[in-house]
């Protein structure tokens, strides 16, 4: 008998018929002799509706009440799935995040999980009950409802798998695995059978929407194998696991893109020690993450300081940055919301030179200008004009020979 954690996303839970299909899949795994913990997201589109309601009332809703609101979508999902399982003759019990409890810090909308006591769930599992948990949410130590950020149900599932020492964590979604790039852009993109935690961390952070980045961080930290699968078929998906030698043979494993970024440039900034901290510290204090950063070469004691943030944080970041610009006597603040980040990822970059050069040359041949560059040991990212996104992905996918049949890493 194995302990299996399964997560079903909003599309998988998007209608009563789809919830019935999820219940049948859960029942099939349970009938094979497994203990089951199920994590579900809100039904497709429901969280967006809740966000829109809050934004209709005011531009910047109170953080605590915002989390109370958006966490309510999962309540419907856990209840409907539990009702369905019980109607089929199975024991099932639904839990809000706070009922488990999934204990988090108090960073509303971006809370991080601190601990998950397993006493209640263990008792239910011992009794043969299928445990159904609301993803995306938790409770801080003051008793406030918190949420983990978009895609947070993935993190809930992996964290529960780690806490319970589950044998496997299966993430069911509307795609049947991790692909070399978005199949909607490259029809010859291939499914990858295995990808390392490190590569998946980069892909998740760079715009690939298969898994939330913090779920991969949890998986790596606690050595949880994560199987990404489709909820609409029985095909094998992609296993996210430890790096092995096969993976190192691949130069580039995947290409990610992210149109959900905006650029903010503080112009003619006094070039002196500590100026970057003065610009970025207020953003950090507001829990806004900055992605890519470029500071131009100083001219006449002044420089331009440019950075990117997510579009969700853009308005707030811009308002804060304008205040800072006035304080530091900068000339102006210029923005660009029509940008895209393109990234290539692969553990093989550690042992192969010239990858970045090949990327830059490929884009140059198509007349695509690079605005910003960022690198790590296993990835290269560039910011370009958003209108070239699809073209850039296609030519890079072709340049690095990533088309073809499903791969085990070669």
Domain enclosing residue 360, as ranges: 243-410
In a domain, 277, yes or no: yes
Q: Is residue 247 located within the same domain as residue 392?
A: yes
Structural domain ending residue among the three candidates 145, 174, 203:
174
Q: Is residue 37 located within the same domain as residue 166?
A: yes
pLDDT of residue 248: 52
Q: Is residue 42 located within the same domain as residue 143?
A: yes
Q: Is residue 139 located within the same domain as residue 256?
A: no
In a domain, 202, yes or no: no
In a domain, 49, yes or no: yes
Mark out the alpha helices in 223-369 (DSSP H runs).
245-248, 275-285, 311-327, 355-365
In a domain, 327, yes or no: yes
In a domain, 221, yes or no: no
**345/233 Cα distance (integer angstroms):** 28
In a domain, 208, yes or no: no
Residues 6+ apart with CB under 8 A from 46: 10, 73, 76
Residue 345: beta bridge partners?
Answer: 254, 379
Q: Is residue 157 located within the same domain as residue 298?
A: no
pTM of the model: 0.78
Q: Is residue 272 located within the same domain as residue 364?
A: yes
**148/215 Cα distance (integer angstroms):** 10
pLDDT of residue 350: 78
pLDDT of residue 207: 65
Q: Is residue 302 located within the same domain as residue 402?
A: yes
Q: Is residue 29 located within the same domain as residue 146?
A: yes
Domain containing 340 — which CATH number? Answer: 3.30.2130.10
In a domain, 194, yes or no: no
CA–CA distance from 237 to each of 138, 172, 219, 366 (Å)?
29, 9, 17, 34
Q: What is the number of domains present in the chain? A: 2
How confident is the prediction along the chain (410 residues), in pLDDT tens digits per residue? 899 999 999 999 999 999 999 999 999 999 999 999 999 999 999 999 999 999 999 989 999 999 999 999 999 999 999 999 999 999 999 999 999 999 999 999 999 999 999 999 999 999 999 999 999 999 999 999 999 998 899 999 999 999 999 999 999 988 888 899 988 899 899 898 889 999 998 888 776 678 888 899 999 999 999 999 988 888 889 999 987 656 555 678 899 999 999 999 999 999 999 999 999 999 999 999 999 999 988 878 899 999 999 999 999 999 999 999 999 999 999 999 999 999 999 988 877 778 999 999 999 999 999 999 999 889 999 999 999 999 999 999 999 988 765 443 33
What is the secondary structure of 165-222 as a DSSP string?
T-SEEEEEESSSSEESS-TTT-TT--EESEEEHHHHHHHHHTT--SS-HHHHHHHHHH
Strand 302-310 to 261-270 pairing: antiparallel
In a domain, 215, yes or no: no
pLDDT of residue 233: 86
Q: Is residue 167 located within the same domain as residue 261?
A: no
Domain containing 102 — which CATH number? Answer: 3.40.1160.10
């Amino acid at each position: 008998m194995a302990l299996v954690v399964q997560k079903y996303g909003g599309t998988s839970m998007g209608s009563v018929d789809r919830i019935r299909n999820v219940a049948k899949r859960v029942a099939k795994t349970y009938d094979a002799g497994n203990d089951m913990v199920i994590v579900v997201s809100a039904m497709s589109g429901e969280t967006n509706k809740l966000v829109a309601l809050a934004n209709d009332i005011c531009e910047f809703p109170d953080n605590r009440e915002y989390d109370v609101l958006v966490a309510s979508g999962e309540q419907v999902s856990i209840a409907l799935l539990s009702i369905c399982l019980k109607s089929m003759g199975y024991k099932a019990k639904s839990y809000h995040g706070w009922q488990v409890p999934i204990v988090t810090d108090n960073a509303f909308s971006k809370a991080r999980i601190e601990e998950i006591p397993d006493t209640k769930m263990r008792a239910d599992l011992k009794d043969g009950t299928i445990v159904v948990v609301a993803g995306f949410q938790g409770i801080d130590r003051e008793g406030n409802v918190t949420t983990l950020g978009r895609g947070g149900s993935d993190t809930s599932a992996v964290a529960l798998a780690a806490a319970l020492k589950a044998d496997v964590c299966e993430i069911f979604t509307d795609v049947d695995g991790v692909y070399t790039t978005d199949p909607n852009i490259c029809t010859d993109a291939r499914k990858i059978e295995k990808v390392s935690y490190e590569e998946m961390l980069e892909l998740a952070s760079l715009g690939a929407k298969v898994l939330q980045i913090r779920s991969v961080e949890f998986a790596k930290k606690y050595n949880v194998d994560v199987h990404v699968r489709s909820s609409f078929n029985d095909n094998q998906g992609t296993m996210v696991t430890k790096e092995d030698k096969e993976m190192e043979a691949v130069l580039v494993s995947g290409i990610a893109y992210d149109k959900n970024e905006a650029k903010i440039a503080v112009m003619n900034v006094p070039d002196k020690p500590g100026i970057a901290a003065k610009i970025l510290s207020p953003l950090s204090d507001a829990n806004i993450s900055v992605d890519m950063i470029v500071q131009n070469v100083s001219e006449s004691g002044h420089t331009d300081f440019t950075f990117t943030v997510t579009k969700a944080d853009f308005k707030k970041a811009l308002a804060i940055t304008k205040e800072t610009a006035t304080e530091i006597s900068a000339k102006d603040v210029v923005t660009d919301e029509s940008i895209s980040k393109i990234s290539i990822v692969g553990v093989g970059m550690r042992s192969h030179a010239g990858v970045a050069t090949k990327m830059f040359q490929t884009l140059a041949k198509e007349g695509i200008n690079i605005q910003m560059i960022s690198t790590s040991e296993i990835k290269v990212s560039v910011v370009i004009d958003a209108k070239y996104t699809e073209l850039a992905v296609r030519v890079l996918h072709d340049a690095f020979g990533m088309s073809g049949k499903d791969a085990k890493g070669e």
